Every structure is written in C-alpha cells, then in structure tokens.
Amino acid sequence: MAGPTLKMTVILLTALVLQASLLTQVRFFGASADLMLVLAVAGGLAAGPDRGAVIGFFSGLLVDLLVQTPFGLSALAYSLVGYLAGSASTMVVAAARWFPFAVGFVGGLAGLVIFVLIGELVGEPMLEMPDLPTIAAVVTVTTALLTPPTRRLLTWALKPAESSARVVV
Amino acid sequence: MAVLRQTSRRSRFTLILLVLTSVTLLTLDLRNFEPVEDARRVALDAFSPLKDVADGAFEPVGDAWNGAFGYDTLKAENEELRERIDELNGELALSADAKETLVDVYAELDIDYVGNIEAVTSTVVYGPINNFDHTIEIDKGSDDGIIEGMPVVNSAGLVGTVGTVVSGGRSVVTLMTDPAFRVGMRMVESDDFGVARGQGRGRPLIGFTGIDAELEIEDGEPVITSGLERTLFPAHVPIGTVSSTVKTTGDLDQDVFVDPNADLENLKFVNVLLWQPED
C-alpha cells in the first residue's frame, strides 16, 4: 500500500494540475478558487501545525515554480496558514460540524492577507489591484467550502500504511 | 468541554525552519539568483505537457461553465462587436491610405514602423494559473531569437512583454494587466503623453504621470505606444481606447483609463516582436 508521502505527492501534483487547468476556466466574478491554499488549510486541520506547515510550504512552493510572483512568497504564506490552521485544530478536541468551514474561511482570508502584505513588502504592487475585494471574497468562500472534503482526503492520505504482516497471538 | 493543548515546541521549530527557508528563497529570487530561475524554467518545461493533456480534458467543463454563466455577457459582446465591425469597415479604406503615407514618412526619417518589425508567431500554451498571476506561457523561446523584454502583440494591439525565456521553445509573457507593468502611451487625438500601468485582470490600464487636467479627452480616443526615447516598446503599437478620465487630487493632472484592444482573457496566438530598445 502506498505510504503517506507518496499519496501526498500525488495529491499535491493533482491539485496543481486542477488549479492550472480547471480552475483557470471556472471563475466566479473573474476570480478563481485557490486549491493549493485549500490544501494548506486542510493539511493543518488534518495533521496539526507541524505537518500542516510542511504541506503548506510544499503546496506554495509548487505554485511558486509556475508563476512569476517572487519565488518563495506562496511557500511562506501557505506554510504560515497551514501552521495556523493546525494550531486551531489542536485547541479543540470535540469540534462542531461548522468548525472546518470556519477555519477554511479564516484560513483563506489569512492566506490572502499574508500573501498580499508580504508581496507588498517585497515590491509587488498587489494592494493597488482594484479587484482585490472580489478575489478575497471568492477565495475565502471557496476555501471554506472545499476545506471539509479536502481535510477528509488528507486524513486518509496521511494515515500510516497498514502492515501487510499480521501478528497472530 | 473544549480542551486546550499547548502547541508543541517541535511545531514551532518546523515553522521557523520553513519560514527561514522561504525567506531565503525570496531573497535569492529578488537578487536574481540564477539557479532559482533555472529551477522555474525546468518546472515550467516539465509541467507544460501535463498541463496540455489536462487542458484538453477540462476544456468541455470550462466551455459549459462559460456557456451557463456567461451567456448574457457573450450575447451583449456579440452585438457590440457586430456594430464595431461595421464601423471599422468604414474606417478601413481611410486607414489603408494613411498607413501607406506613414510608412513612407518613417522610411524617410529612418524610424522603426511596427508593421515592418520582424515577428515570431507563437501559440499560447497556458494562461495565468492563480489570481495574482499575470502571465501566459508561449511555445517559442530562444531558438527563435526571443529574449527577455521583447514586446508581445496580437492583431488587436499590445499584449505585454517577454518576462522570462524558459528554454529554446518556451517563454513566459507578462501581460499588460500586471500591476507592475508600465508602458509609455500617447493619446492619438489629444496628442498628450503619459505612462500606463496595469490594474489586474479584466481591468482597464490607468494612464497617469503628467496628463494635463485641462486637456479635453474624449471617451473612445485611441491610445498607442509613445515610442519616446529609451522606451521599452516601439512607437505606434495600439494599446487600447480611453474608457474614462478622472481628475486627480488638486485638479492639476488627470488619470486616463484605457480599455486594452487585445482580449487578454482569450489569447490563443500572439506575435513576439523581435525588437529591442536602443541603448
């Protein structure tokens, strides 16, 4: 059975292809969902702050390889979001059903704000974009909606592979 | 009852490590560290075939989505375009005559005319992949003489500029909607100059820098590249048309909003002008 690392690699690459092919065509008011950000948030929820930050880092790094915004910007923003989402998940044991939606919503907004602010710091004029509120609205709502199913997928992917040999007592 | 737990020291250590790595990568990229650019080139080259296959598979979904949610817009656009074709047919005869005269004058004065600049026609391989990406990738690169900074146009006008030459057969084009994009512009009828910059996807460019507030600028006025000394674009490349003007604070200048002629959302083919500014 495939290990968590292999499964996560396949999930990350599949998400990147979906982001680049499908989500560029399916737009809401001109803005698209950010599947790689969803992975960072859901990764934090599914695996805690430690692995959430790592998942966020690699999902951001994959995006950085393909876009012309400064290299490392998405990796930085998404690793912070993965960590924050993971920290939120460790604070409650019995979470309500709406909890992943809420973390998705806040995480989506936090990811965007961190990305834009660090982008401004390194000389990318993102705050000047008039459609920033639309992008923020679309990204937060879609991240909130996509986080719960993605968290379930990542919980499955990060489960350690079962041993093929069973010990009979 | 909710139970609060301490975030482990290990988590914080991992986060610090990842943040430091990201900041290092950012710093290296901002200092134009060549291996970072090489890594991007390799990734883009490797990802493109995968993307092509996925694009083919998801195209019907995109078409269905646009058909379902963009029908009214498409219908209105279609009607507008029909009217515009009629208008343009009328102007065509006049333009042809004016163009011939212009080419003769440029030849006399030894000035580059955009119609005479050698161009490489390229297919757009893929478009912007997220909300903050303002680039497209094309299937021509250094093998065809393309270098960074060359202007990119299509039949309607300016599209952007070559941002990165990925390989012999791939380049990344920065679209003029990028907020960091700047182009020297000239308004054809009011004959004033300015600098236009991008404002993001689907938004008009904003022309600013010293456009006199007293100047009468009509909506619909054509805007072209200025071609002034040390400009990054040859003269007389159509940029778009004026959509509105706004007086700036103090009423000394005015900002001019320019709708690009080129449909940057649906680019299939572009031409890279093999032109470089003179030093």
**pLDDT given at position B4:** 46
Backbone angles phi and psi of B58, in degrees to 5: -95, -5
Cα distance from B30 to chain A (closest Cα, Å)?
7
Q: In a mutagenesis test of the A interface, which of B5, B9, B15, B177 is the best target, namely the one with the most A β-carbons within 10 Å?
A: B15
CB contact under 8 A, A21 and B51: yes
CB contact under 8 A, B133 and A19: no
pLDDT at B114 over 70: no
pLDDT at A94 over 70: no
CB contact under 8 A, B200 and A130: yes
Q: Is A72 on the interface with B (CB under 8 A)?
A: yes
Q: In a mutagenesis test of the B interface, which of A9, A27, A35 is the best target, namely the one with the most B β-carbons within 10 Å?
A: A27
Q: Is A38 on the interface with B (CB under 8 A)?
A: no
Cα distance from A72 to chain B (closest Cα, Å)?
5
Integer Cα distance of B46 and A118 in angstroms:
29
B144 compared with B249, residue with greater pLDDT: B144
pLDDT at B3 over 60: no
| Greatest mean pLDDT among A103-117, A125-139, A148-162, B209-223 | A103-117
Residues A133-149, mean pLDDT to the nearest whole number: 95
**pLDDT given at position A167:** 45
CB hemisphere CA count around B261 (13 angstroms):
19
CB contact under 8 A, A31 and B131: yes
CB contact under 8 A, B26 and A73: yes
Q: Is A55 on the interface with B (CB under 8 A)?
A: no
Paired with A28 in beta bridges are A31
Give yes or no for a contact between B223 and B239, defined as CB atoms under 8 angstroms apart: yes
CB pairs under 8 A between A and B: 169
CB contact under 8 A, A92 and B3: yes
Q: How confident is the model at residue A166 (pLDDT cuts 50, 70, 90)?
A: very low
Beta carbons within 8 Å of A19's beta carbon, 6+ residues apart: A34, A35, A36, A63, B129, B130
pLDDT at A168 over 60: no
Contacts of B179 in chain A (CB under 8 A): 124-126, 128-129
CB contact under 8 A, A83 and B11: yes
**pLDDT given at position A96:** 79
A9 compared with B58, residue with greater pLDDT: A9
Nearest CA in chain B to A34: B130
Cα distance from B116 to chain A (closest Cα, Å)?
31
Cα distance from B245 to chain A (closest Cα, Å)?
16
**pLDDT given at position B112:** 58
Cα distance from B107 to chain A (closest Cα, Å)?
39
Of A87, A123, A132, the CB nearest to B7: A87
Q: How confident is the model at residue B94 (pLDDT cuts 50, 70, 90)?
A: low
Is A46 exposed, middle or buried (CB count within 10 Å of its CB: 0-12, 13-18, 19+)? Answer: buried
Q: How confident is the model at residue B107 (pLDDT cuts 50, 70, 90)?
A: low
Of B55, B61, B130, the CB nearest to A26: B61
**pLDDT given at position B189:** 84
pLDDT at A114 over 80: yes
Q: How confident is the model at residue A164 (pLDDT cuts 50, 70, 90)?
A: very low
Report helix angle A99-121 to A73-91, nearest 10: 150
- Return the SS3 of A15: helix
Nearest CA in chain B to A115: B132
Of B5, B10, B135, the CB nearest to A68: B135
Phi-psi region of A159 (alpha: psi -120 to 50; beta: other; left: phi over 0): beta
Residues B174-200, mean pLDDT to the nearest whole number: 88
Q: How confident is the model at residue B93 (pLDDT cuts 50, 70, 90)?
A: low
B218 compared with A103, residue with greater pLDDT: A103
**pLDDT given at position A60:** 96
Residues A19-28, mean pLDDT to the nearest whole number: 86
Read off the pLDDT of residues B35-64 as tens digits, 9 standing for 90 and up. Answer: 888 888 888 888 878 887 888 888 888 778
**pLDDT given at position B279:** 65
Integer Cα distance of B225 and B216 in angstroms:
20
Read off the pLDDT of residues B23-40 as tens digits, 9 standing for 90 and up. Answer: 999 999 988 888 888 888
Read off the pLDDT of residues B139-173 as tens digits, 9 standing for 90 and up. Answer: 899 999 999 999 999 888 899 999 887 778 889 99
B6 compared with A169, residue with greater pLDDT: B6
Residues A41-49, mean pLDDT to the nearest whole number: 94
**pLDDT given at position B50:** 83
CB contact under 8 A, A20 and B23: no
Q: Rounded mean pLDDT of chain B? A: 82
CB contact under 8 A, A70 and B29: yes
Residues A92-114, mean pLDDT to the nearest whole number: 88
Residues A31-45, mean pLDDT to the nearest whole number: 95
Of A70, A93, A129, the CB nearest to B26: A70
**B135-138 vs B119-126, strand pairing mode:** antiparallel
pLDDT at A137 over 80: yes
**pLDDT given at position B2:** 45
CB contact under 8 A, B61 and A25: yes
Read off the pLDDT of residues B197-244 as tens digits, 9 standing for 90 and up. Answer: 898 888 889 887 777 777 888 888 889 998 776 778 888 888 999 988
**pLDDT given at position A63:** 94
Nearest CA in chain A to B10: A50
- ipTM metric: 0.87
- Comparing C-alpha atoms, which of B223, B226, B248, B245 is closest to residue B235? B226
Contacts of A67 in chain B (CB under 8 A): 128-130, 132-133, 135
CB contact under 8 A, B26 and A71: yes
Of B22, B43, B54, the CB nearest to A76: B22
> Tokens 């934090």 identify what position?
A44
pLDDT at B123 over 80: yes
**pLDDT given at position B174:** 93
